[in-house]
């Protein structure tokens, strides 16, 4: 599975590693992804999502069903 958050759609970004001598080499900035199980009380089921730490905070704030619905509208949700 790719390194993509299923809620926010965060992906690895590309940038430069800059040394003290100002030499630049390519590097990747990886998102802080966690594999986490969430409980959906409406469906009485557990769902496992690969989400970023930022997405976990969003789910805690807005609730799982509202966040999943918004991600599905945005097009980032993939099961």
CATH of the domain at 26: 2.30.170.40
6 belongs to a structural domain? no
- Which pLDDT tens digit goes with each residue over 34-44? 999 999 999 99
Domain count, the chain: 1
The C-alpha angle 14, 78, 39, rounded to 5 degrees, equals 115
Q: What is the mean pLDDT of the chain?
A: 94
- Contact residues for 61 (Cβ-Cβ < 8 A; gap 6+): none
5 belongs to a structural domain? no
CA 74 – CA 27 distance, rounded (Å): 29
Range of the domain at 45: 13-74
* Entry pTM: 0.84
37 belongs to a structural domain? yes
38 belongs to a structural domain? yes
């Amino acid at each position: 599975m790719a390194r993509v958050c299923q809620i926010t759609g965060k992906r690895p970004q590309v940038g430069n590693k800059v040394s003290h001598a100002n030499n630049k080499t390519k590097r990747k900035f990886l998102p802080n992804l966690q594999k986490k199980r969430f409980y959906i009380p409406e469906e009485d089921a557990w769902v496992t999502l690969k989400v970023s730490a930022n997405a976990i905070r969003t789910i805690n704030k807005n609730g799982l069903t509202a966040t999943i619905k918004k991600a599905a509208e945005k097009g980032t949700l993939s099961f």
